[in-house]
Amino acid sequence: MANKTTIRQKPTITTRTRTGDSNDARPRRTALSRDRIEVESLALIEEVGIDEFSTRKLGQRLGCEAMSIYHYFPSKAHIMDALADRLLAAMPTPDPGLSPAMRLRGFAQNWRTLAVERPRIFPWLSLHRRNSEIGTRMDDEIVACFYDAGLSPERASLGFRVLGYYVQGAALDEGSGYANGTSSLRPLPAAEVAAHFPRVATIARYSDQAHFDTMFELGFTALLREFGLE
């Protein structure tokens, strides 16, 4: 009887390329950079407030460990310094061909706008020392307006300081709002204020956002006239 030889077929091997690998389907993280850290820091501060801002929370937002951030910024303080420069550098500079008074109006308006657009960081920024090159240049451009108007160094310096007092206070009120100020006391009911403090109640009628520009212009014009700029 003849021997039968059984021939086994080789199994078919199905292959697939790595393009179908599930690992490649995962979204890639955006690369970490100084710019991205600054952008996300500003966004986080406006969400949680400056007191709650931390490198740990920032790391969570960026999808990295806090230590990775320190590769770009040695500390949280260095991040805050960078944010101050970023905000100041983004402010438009008035045309140097304008009159000193118009340039000062431009600086003042830009500061007020920043306070409204960045209400959570602006109170900190308003007290932050502008001692970097960007901050010092901004101060120099402002005080130059008083020199260009023919004021003496003393009067120009006084004008610069008085302008800061006025614009800073207005911007803080318009951006953060006096009504949102800190207090552990429960406000007096409006009816009680009207009954016992009618003059204070009257002030409230003219203290809303609709009157901001009118109030600001009144004081700003008086300031310019005091220093002979208008």
* Digit-coded pLDDT (tens) for 162-174: 999 999 999 999 9
Q: Which of left, alpha, beta for 16 (phi over 0: left; psi -120 to 50: alpha)?
A: beta
Domain that holds residue 77: 29-82
pLDDT digits (tens, 9 = 90+) for 184-206: 888 889 999 999 999 999 998 88
The answer to pTM > 0.85 is no
Residue 155 lies in a domain: yes
Q: Which two tokens stand for residue 180?
A: 């949102």
Please give the tally of structural domains in the chain. Answer: 2
Residues 99 and 208 in one domain: yes
Note the pLDDT of residue 22. 46
Residues 39 and 127 in one domain: no
Average pLDDT taken over every residue of the chain: 88
Between 67 and 205, the higher pLDDT residue: 67
Residue 12 lies in a domain: no
28: pLDDT strictly greater than 70: no
Residues 37 and 116 in one domain: no
Residue 20 lies in a domain: no
Q: Are the CB atoms for 223 and 166 separated by under 8 Å?
A: yes
Residues 163 and 121 in one domain: yes
- Domain holding 45: CATH number? 1.10.10.60
* Residue range 125-137: mean pLDDT, rounded: 95
Residue 134 lies in a domain: yes
- Domain holding 108: CATH number? 1.10.357.10
Residues 77 and 120 in one domain: no
In DSSP notation, 93-143 reads PPPTTS-HHHHHHHHHHHHHHHHHH-TTTHHHHHHS---SHHHHHHHHHHH
Least confident of 7-16, 84-93, 170-179: 7-16
Give residue 69's pLDDT band: very low, low, confident or very high (50, 70, 90).
Answer: very high
Residues 213 and 157 in one domain: yes
pLDDT digits (tens, 9 = 90+) for 120-129: 999 999 999 9
Domain boundary among 82, 109, 124: 82
Residues 56 and 99 in one domain: no
Q: Are the CB atoms for 73 and 122 separated by under 8 Å?
A: no
Share of the chain above pLDDT 70, in %: 87
158: pLDDT strictly greater than 90: yes
